[in-house]
Amino acid sequence: MRYLSDVAALTRKDLLLELRAKETIPAMLLFVLSALTIFHFAIPRGSSDVAALGLLWVAIVFTSLLGLTRAFVPEREQGLMDALVLAPCDRSTIWLGKTIAVIAFLGIAEVVALPAFTLFFSGLTLKTVAAVALADIGIAAVGTLTGAMAVAGRARELIQPLLFLPLSIPVIVGGIGASATAGPKFLLFLALYDTVFVLLSWAAFDFVAAEA
């Protein structure tokens, strides 16, 4: 019970900071809408739906990277990371609280992005929406871990993409496959990706936080 209350407090902290600063979500919304608008005019008329879906997933991944890059900025700028690590709570609560906040930010961005994609390209299917929801979990879990790793380095803005983007390739493959094929195997693939990387990130964050 104490664990969950700590997670809730840390998540509320991140959400309240964003509501007051209004920096991450507006930037994510502007980026994803701009990307989809550019893709709309760049893709020739009559192109396959798979090409459009691929660009949707590219936009989602890079939008999430924008949010993840900002995930640990408050702790870095105010020197709070050491205080969080030394707090009398399980260090994994920091990762879980931050991951839930990132999922919330992604969800807000996608509430705008998915209707915009429907307007610019073809209609969305329920499988695509389900794939996006599953992908958000994996993206947030892995991205939060790599964000904590990047905090300890000097070239933070460079390290985060180098660590995160290779790990996000399976998400793009699974997302496009789930959107373009009839079977559920790619949704199961995304669920397996989430399970593996959530457990790995949860277990590894204690060691990463100690070095941050």
Q: What is the pLDDT of residues 31-53, one digit of tens each?
A: 999 999 998 888 877 666 777 88
pLDDT at 159: 84
What are the residue ranges in the chain where pLDDT is below 50?
A: none
Greatest distance between any 2 Cα atoms in the chain: 58
Q: Which residue has the tokens 């790793």?
A: 149
pLDDT at 78: 67
Q: Could you give the CA distance from residue 94 to residue 81 in angstroms, rounded to a whole number?
A: 10
Q: What is the value of pTM for the model shown?
A: 0.89
14-27 burial, b at 16+ Cβ within 10 Å, e below that, comes to: beeebeeeeebbeb
**Which 3 state secondary structure label does DSSP give 53?**
helix
Sequence-distant (≥ 6) Cβ neighbours of residue 152 within 8 angstroms: 211, 212
How far lies 121's CA from each of 11, 30, 35, 41, in Å?
Answer: 35, 18, 13, 11
Residue 120 near residue 36 (C-beta atoms within 8 A): yes
> How many whole angstroms from its chain centre is CA 6?
22
